[in-house]
A and B are shown apart, each in its own frame.
Chain A
């Protein structure tokens, strides 16, 4: 059985994550699009921490004997991996767009300079 202190600490910490994410959206420092995964992470971890019987049951399913909170670590790790992978795709897209932007800017500058010269 999960120690009570672990359940309480886990639930509080995960719920704090949910609140922080909501506040970040509210103050416009985090876009909803990038917040959803964090919110799901926070809610799932809060649920698993607070629902002690459930954690034990799930631990039994996946063959975790002796220390059910290990499931919390596993699930948390999985979500963090998902968030990181998501960010990698976001960064890839941003760098692609950055290249396009720089190229368009270069073309625009060339056009403008050519225009300025022909006006003289």
Chain B
């Protein structure tokens, strides 16, 4: 992983202007990787605020994050990835951030590649940019076979529904503008949320684009998705998608500021 850190020390020249950007870092028992993620975020662009959402960790994740000067939202118990990420979006919404990026605390998302997902959003070409491991044929993503098959099936179903090719529906490496923040702050799916969120984004007529990125092996912790569970999640997510199609949209609250 030391290699990746070297990459990160090329500060960005993003045209932020007056825009306030926040990095949402969901973390569950990741005391060893979270400090490094924070350092890499700082190295990438020190203007980006960092908020770590500690999803009920039983290790020192919250302390480690606070020691590096990140804002820490400590959840009283484990909400699961959906609830944790939404906490971050709620924070971004209420504190008036213009753009939010999500960078997982396990170190699989490289802050050095943030420019790729941030730029389309900053240029206002899209409302949400998703880093995809499979768009543009980027390299080496290794994962259990059941998980890869699952990702494929979901990608196929979601692409059909939204009428636009989506290759990596389970990627959490995303940049979102104010419209997306408002939507996610008020309505975000639960466990395994990215798939449903993609469909939701299209139903609210937000513009979504995938950007090729590569991801690292997880630095610490374990994937929340084990082999048997992925079948359960598949069924659950497919059910949620199909029933969701018959759902009326919940309009995100209008901006009050």
Task: A78 to B228: give the CA distance in the assembly, Å.
Answer: 23
A36 with B236, Cβ < 8 A, contacts A97-B76, A100-B76 known? yes
B204-257 interface (Cβ within 8 A of A): 232, 235-236, 239-240, 243, 246-247
Task: A26 to B76: give the CA distance in the assembly, Å.
Answer: 29
Interface residue count on the B side (C-beta < 8 Å): 12
B119 within 8 Å of A (CB atoms): no
B49 within 8 Å of A (CB atoms): no
A104 with B239, Cβ < 8 A, contacts A28-B247, A31-B190, A33-B190 known? no
Task: A36 to B235: give the CA distance in the assembly, Å.
Answer: 9
Task: A114 to B239: give the CA distance in the assembly, Å.
Answer: 49
Partner of B243, one of A26, A97, A101: A26
B39 within 8 Å of A (CB atoms): no
Contact B77 A39 (CB under 8 A): no
B241 to chain A, nearest CB (A): 10
B191 within 8 Å of A (CB atoms): yes
Partner of B76, one of A22, A33, A36, A101: A101
Contact B77 A100 (CB under 8 A): yes
Besides A26-B247, A35-B239, A36-B239, 20 other A-B contacts (C-beta < 8 A): A25-B239, A25-B240, A25-B243, A26-B243, A27-B247, A31-B190, A32-B243, A33-B190, A33-B191, A33-B236, A36-B232, A36-B235, A39-B239, A96-B77, A97-B76, A97-B77, A100-B77, A101-B76, A101-B77, A104-B76
Task: A23 to B232: give the CA distance in the assembly, Å.
Answer: 21
Task: A28 to B76: give the CA distance in the assembly, Å.
Answer: 25
Query: What bracket does the count of chain A residues touching chain B fall in?
Result: 10 to 19
In the assembled complex, 28 residue pairs joining A and B whose CB atoms fall closer than 8 Å, in A order, are: A22-B243, A25-B239, A25-B240, A25-B243, A26-B246, A26-B247, A27-B247, A31-B190, A32-B190, A32-B236, A32-B239, A32-B240, A32-B243, A33-B190, A33-B191, A33-B236, A35-B239, A36-B232, A36-B235, A36-B239, A39-B239, A96-B77, A97-B76, A97-B77, A100-B76, A100-B77, A101-B76, A101-B77
Task: A39 to B246: give the CA distance in the assembly, Å.
Answer: 17
A95 to chain B, nearest CB (A): 12
A-B pairs under 8 A by CB, number:
32
Using a CB–CB cutoff of 8 Å, the interface residues on chain A facing chain B are 22, 25-28, 31-33, 35-36, 39, 96-97, 100-101, 104
Task: A33 to B80: give the CA distance in the assembly, Å.
Answer: 13
- Closest residue of chain B to A31, judged by CB? B190
What residues of B have a CB within 8 angstroms of the CB of A22 in the complex? 243
B7 to chain A, nearest CB (A): 39
- Closest residue of chain A to B196, judged by CB? A32
B23-77 interface (Cβ within 8 A of A): 76-77
B224 to chain A, nearest CB (A): 14
Task: A22 to B240: give the CA distance in the assembly, Å.
Answer: 10
Interface string of B67-100 (1 = CB under 8 A from A): 0000000001100000000000000000000000
Closest 6 CB pairs of A and B: A25-B243, A104-B76, A32-B240, A97-B77, A100-B76, A32-B236
A118 to chain B, nearest CB (A): 22
A68 to chain B, nearest CB (A): 30
Task: A33 to B196: give the CA distance in the assembly, Å.
Answer: 14
